Structure 1
Amino acid sequence: MKKIVVTTPTGNIGSRVVQLLIQAGARPTLLVRDPGRLSETVRSACEIRQGDLSDQDFVIEATRGADALFWLIPTNYSAADPVADVLRLGTVAAAAVQSNQITRTVFLSSSGAEQRGNHLLGTLGLVEDLLNATGQNVVHLRPGYLFTNLFTVVEELRAGVLTTTTSLDHRAGWNDPRDIGEIAAARLLSDSWSGQQVQPIGGPADLSYREVAALVGEAIERPIQAVQISEDEHRQNLLGAGLPVPVAEALVELSRTIANIKPEELGRSYASTTPTSLGAWCYAHLRPLFK
């Protein structure tokens, strides 16, 4: 049986990866900080390794003998330097792949990683380079916005607005995390691909913020207005929510990076298009919050 190692198994994407691997008959190895967050059903069907992804010795030992690795870098909103934190965890992943000669790695990157630099999305691009340099087979999944990001703005939606620093007509792909998990699981189970690849994931359609607001409003049965705000307003909102200054600055820069993404340059294909529509997801997951 292949040894498939999965990080962030309790997250929206990682948990879907785990479920599909179990359903396919695999017994994945899960790297998890707190095994108590896993259900007993999952724990009984997997090998559990408790530890911190920033601990290189732990990760190298836990991935020894692995045939495939799913690596997702969790967002750390308490990090003193969230950008450096991403690069540090990427360095750990590359060290494990290199040390253990892991044949295939599925890395959750992001749309915008092509804008390499010292910012959250650009650093994901640098991690892609580190993984490519191992010489092993790697696919970098690059989704756009996640539907679940809308959970962070529920209070905004209650006030009837959806704010962004980007142009209201700027279009981007929006994705259900479950769909991303399905692509990741398929890649982990397959031995038919090789090389270093980039796979954009753009949801079923590229949407403007005006269209997103309309779809959300229809699902929750209240009018939602898309509103463009300045970077400074965005910064003050983040700080007002209690985020540390470095994190707030990193998220402001993230918004700036997103504004420079051009979906038409990323291309849309059968492979990059996922099935779940934003409207259907909002009806199932956001609508109950407004009842």
Structure 2
Amino acid sequence: MIVVTTPTGQIGQQVLDNIFDSTEAVRVIVRDPSRLSPRMRERVEVVQGSHDDIAVVTKAFEDADSVLWLVPPNPQAENPMNYYINFTQPACEAIKNQGVKRVIGVSSLGYNFGTPAGLLTPAFAMDDLIENSGVNYRSLRMPFFMENLLHQVNAIKSQGMIFMANAGDHKLATCATRDIADVATKLLLDNTWTGQESVSVIGPDDLSPIDMARIISQVLELPVRYQQIPSTDYKATMMQYGMSEAWAQGLIDMAAAQDQGIYNNESHTAQRTPTSFIQWCEEVLKPAILA
């Protein structure tokens, strides 16, 4: 039995598509089952609810061999660290009580960075909690998600701009969620691995935001420029959109850690995944902009 959390999210949905034709029994935890496609609802067993609920995860983890664990973002959370810990603790209890064999968690590169890293730091705390449960664990550790740029579609279309809090000339390791889903799928379908290790999931391109804008321009055949937003302005804008002050500050601190090289040590030695940034722009970003 494979259990998938956040099955309607970017990673979870792609994992479900990947394992659809496998012979494994699949169970999902989802708040609103209607968000699953009719095809998927016929394929999977559904446990309705939130996976921060001990009753829900206890039911969902019964007879589970492998679990894909993601903490969904909550931009309204007043304390991101407490949010991650409180979300993960019930799962750790259920993992032990139900005898789950293997867990694959979605985390971040930079575990050994050594200083606070905004919204990345709670992900590292999540890793520690799951490892302390004693379960066989693979922490998938990623850098900058290419899909973050899907939030910039309107700005690209209306202004020919992308906006971030990061320094324009600092190169970031990048990855596509399709590659994360592929790595997670292989681990979910493999019942032979044991122990606790991290798995770096890093795409072939290290790019600065200026580089990203240049490649987007090339793909769209339209001029697109990058503009760094001062941290105070960026934080104020995020709060205007309903984000809590703590979550907005977490984004600022994460960008600062990225500029300080939080991804560098692991990205220089890791095996690279296949999806290039230009390929992702052609196949994902461009259709989103043209839609």
The TM-score normalised by the length of structure 2 is 0.91
For residues 180-227 of structure 1, the C-alpha deviation after alignment (integer angstroms, 9 at most, x for no partner) is 111001001112322111111111221121211111111122112222
For residues 102-137 of structure 1, the C-alpha deviation after alignment (integer angstroms, 9 at most, x for no partner) is 111000001234446584211111111111112221
Aligned match of 1:58: 56
What secondary structure is seen at the aligned counterpart in 1 of 2:20? Answer: helix
Aligned match of 2:184: 184
CA 1:62 to 1:263, structure 2 compared with 1: closer, same or farther past 3 Å? closer
8 Å CA contact 1:111–1:200 kept in 2: the answer is yes
8 Å CA contact 1:115–1:121 kept in 2: the answer is no
Once the 2 structures are TM-superposed, how far is the Cα of residue 253 of structure 1 from its aligned partner? Answer: 2.2
8 Å CA contact 1:114–1:122 kept in 2: the answer is no
Aligned match of 2:261: 261
Aligned match of 2:40: 42
Distance 1:109 1:52 in 2: 19
Moved more, 250-259 or 217-226: 250-259
1:136-285 counterparts in 2 under 5 A?
136-158=135-157, 159-268=159-268, 272-285=271-284
Moved more, 33-42 or 255-264: 255-264
Distance 1:124 1:51 in 2: 22
Matched AA of 1:123: P
Once the 2 structures are TM-superposed, how far is the Cα of residue 86 of structure 1 from its aligned partner? Answer: 1.5
Distance 2:27 2:241 in 1: 36
Residue identity over aligned pairs, in percent, reads 29
CA 1:162 to 1:202, structure 2 compared with 1: closer, same or farther past 3 Å? same
Aligned residue pairs total 288
1:124-139 counterparts in 2 under 5 A?
124-139=123-138
For residues 155-176 of structure 1, the C-alpha deviation after alignment (integer angstroms, 9 at most, x for no partner) is 3323122233222222222222
Moved more, 274-283 or 237-246: 237-246
Q: Which runs of 5+ in 1 are unaligned?
A: none
Distance 2:288 2:61 in 1: 40
- CA RMSD, 1 decimal: 2.0
CA 1:93 to 1:170, structure 2 compared with 1: closer, same or farther past 3 Å? farther
Aligned match of 1:92: 90
CA 1:23 to 1:272, structure 2 compared with 1: closer, same or farther past 3 Å? farther
CA 1:249 to 1:176, structure 2 compared with 1: closer, same or farther past 3 Å? same
What secondary structure is seen at the aligned counterpart in 2 of 1:23? Answer: coil
Distance 2:144 2:37 in 1: 28
Once the 2 structures are TM-superposed, how far is the Cα of residue 5 of structure 1 from its aligned partner? Answer: 0.6
Q: 2:101 aligns with which of 94, 97, 103?
A: 103
Aligned match of 1:71: 69
Distance 2:250 2:217 in 1: 29
Aligned match of 2:21: 23
Distance 1:213 1:51 in 2: 40
Distance 1:113 1:31 in 2: 28
CA 1:245 to 1:174, structure 2 compared with 1: closer, same or farther past 3 Å? same
Matched AA of 2:276: S
Distance 1:81 1:263 in 2: 24
CA 1:18 to 1:42, structure 2 compared with 1: closer, same or farther past 3 Å? same
Once the 2 structures are TM-superposed, how far is the Cα of residue 245 of structure 1 from its aligned partner? Answer: 2.4
Distance 2:94 2:142 in 1: 24
Distance 1:285 1:146 in 2: 13
For residues 131-152 of structure 1, the C-alpha deviation after alignment (integer angstroms, 9 at most, x for no partner) is 1112221000011122221111
8 Å CA contact 2:64–2:100 kept in 1: the answer is yes
Moved more, 213-222 or 155-164: 155-164
For residues 207-258 of structure 1, the C-alpha deviation after alignment (integer angstroms, 9 at most, x for no partner) is 1212111111111221122222321121122123332323322222222232
Q: Which runs of 5+ in 2 are unaligned?
A: none
8 Å CA contact 2:4–2:26 kept in 1: the answer is yes
